[in-house]
Amino acid sequence: MAGEHLMPTYARQAVGFAQGEGAWLTDTDGKRYLDAIAGIAVCNLGHAHPGVTAAITRQAATLLHTSNVYRIPLQEQAADALCAVSGMEKVFFCNSGAEANEAAIKIARLYGHKRDIAVPTIIVMEGAFHGRTMATLTATGNRKVQAGFEPLVQGFVRAPYNDLEAVRQIAKHNREVVAVLVEPVQGEGGVVIPSDDYLAGLRAICDEHGWLLMLDEIQTGNGRLGTYFAYQQQGVQPDVVTTAKGLGNGVPVGACLARGKAADIFAPGNHGSTFGGNPLACAAALAVIEALQKEGVMARVPALSARIAGGLREHLAGEPGVTEVRNKGMMIGVVLDRPCGVLVARAKDAGLLINVTADKVIRLLPPLVFTDADADLLVAKLSALVREFLAEPVAA
Ligand SMILES: *Cc1c(COP(=O)(O)O)cnc(C)c1O
């Protein structure tokens, strides 16, 4: 059987794709699918984006890799571009989201040790997802991700998400806290949207105690919520931001951005990566940052989000099995009253790619290049599938 030499780390859908264009994918049998998941928030500009394709094609024919022991002009340019769009000051490039968070965690620990804190501790949230390496799975607030991998890493304490009072209580009793690591919207956790004052509230608590505010924008960043980063809608500037997913539109690249007291923590020898920020990855990132800004893609996000979420609310009105439709930019969650993982395969059979997370939440992460017609098709197909599913007797 094909794939028998792959470690079974994923319960894969029985489909493979040969080609993509914009919001559409074609499988190896020639069948077309509307992609409402974008490789899990990666292909924000859609598949085979002409600007990104041209940049990486040109770069592949010029220079792929040298080493971080040399200057990398494209990496310097990508850092300039990221700082310009984010208000941050320094960038460390890596290859994935988990690595970006590892860099943030190491910055927090060094920051703590420089302030003579013996066990630098990071506050992380219930329901959080930060990655699959040992430190980031420890930071993740989901026992399923951690089970079997004990001993976990020390130096984390957990608070409920969207609960400022819980963080204030930790501050009262724990003198070792150095940072808060938090997602502006929880993605894997089920498209959980905190109240509008949450990030500003965390910023105030961090300022009061000299902690670093570290935002995991691996999923929320790179235009997905309609601004380059989510915090830019909240009037908040973090000390550290991590991103990856959409940064290369499919080329693996991650980044840890820092400013102020977090900007100059790392010195030579403290951290590194062989591939991180190589010329190919940085050519992709530069093309993505440019395309997101030039083409007004981000400006369309609020209207698209409202069209999809509004359409779903309308089509699913009066369905008692639908608990809630929540949306923030191009992160849309349809919360059902029962586990609904089977919908992923049914949607695929109907030519629609979606995701289910946190058991009961249909998660939509469409590329930002969705047309209005794509949005309407998504609403029509998904609401029909959901209605049909909810009409079935609940399995005992
Ligand atoms: C996907 C994700 C990660 C992990 O990124 P990888 O590239 O898979 O390591 C971390 N944090 C958040 C919020 C994510 O969505």
Q: 51-294, what's its fold?
A: Aspartate Aminotransferase; domain 2 (3.40.640)
pTM: 0.98
Given ligand 1 and candidates 44, 129, 214, 217, which is best to mutate, with the most ligand atoms within 8 Å of its CB?
129
Does residue 216 line the site of ligand 1, with CB under 6 A? yes
- Rounded to an integer, the average pLDDT of 134-159 is 98
Atom of ligand 1 nearest to the CA of 244: 7
Burial class, 224, CB count within 10 angstroms (exposed 0-12 / middle 13-18 / buried 19+)? buried
Number of helices (H) and strands (E) in the chain: give both, helices first: 12, 15
Q: How far is the CA of 254 from the centre of ligand 1 (A)?
A: 10
Query: Is residue 396 very low, low, confident or very high in pLDDT (cuts 50, 70, 90)?
Result: low
Per-residue pLDDT tens for 172-181?
999 999 999 9
Token duo for residue 347: 């949607």
C-alpha 204/C-alpha 188 separation (Å) is: 26
Q: Where are the domains of the chain?
A: 17-44+297-390, 51-294
- Rounded to an integer, the average pLDDT of 376-385 is 98
Does residue 246 line the site of ligand 1, with CB under 6 A? no
Q: Is 172 a catalytic residue?
A: no
Which candidate in 245, 266, 328, 374 is catalytic? 245
Instruction: Please check the confidence at residue 284 and state whether its pLDDT lies above 90.
Output: yes
Residue 389's pLDDT is 98
- Output the furthest CA–CA distance in the chain (Å, rounded): 63
Query: Is residue 2 very low, low, confident or very high in pLDDT (cuts 50, 70, 90)?
Result: confident
Does residue 96 line the site of ligand 1, with CB under 6 A? yes
Which candidate in 35, 90, 92, 129 is catalytic? 129
CB 34 within 8 A of CB 352: yes
Instruction: Please check the confidence at residue 370 and state whether its pLDDT lies above 90.
Output: yes
Token pair 């609310």 is at which residue?
313
For 17-44+297-390, CATH gives 3.90.1150.10
Which candidate in 216, 229, 266, 374 is catalytic? 216
324, containing H or E segment: strand 322-328
Comparing CA positions, the residue from 38, 46, 45 lying closest to residue 293 is 45
**What is the DSSP secondary structure assignment for residue 378, as one 8-state letter?**
H
Does residue 244 line the site of ligand 1, with CB under 6 A? yes
The per-residue pLDDT of the chain, averaged, comes to 97
**What is the DSSP secondary structure assignment for residue 185, as one 8-state letter?**
S
Q: Is 129 a catalytic residue?
A: yes
- Rounded percentage of the chain residues whose pLDDT exceeds 70: 99
Token duo for residue 46: 């859609």
Given ligand 1 and candidates 95, 137, 245, 331, which is best to mutate, with the most ligand atoms within 8 Å of its CB?
245
Q: How far lies 179's CA from each of 106, 123, 193, 300, in Å? A: 11, 6, 21, 34
213, containing H or E segment: strand 212-216
Q: Is 156 a catalytic residue?
A: no
Its sign, for the CA torsion 115, 120, 123, 129, is positive
- Rounded to an integer, the average pLDDT of 121-145 is 98
Residue 395's pLDDT is 67
Neighbour-count burial for 81-115, b at 16+ CB within 10 Å, e otherwise: bbeebbebebbbbbbbbbbbbbbbbbbbbbbbeee
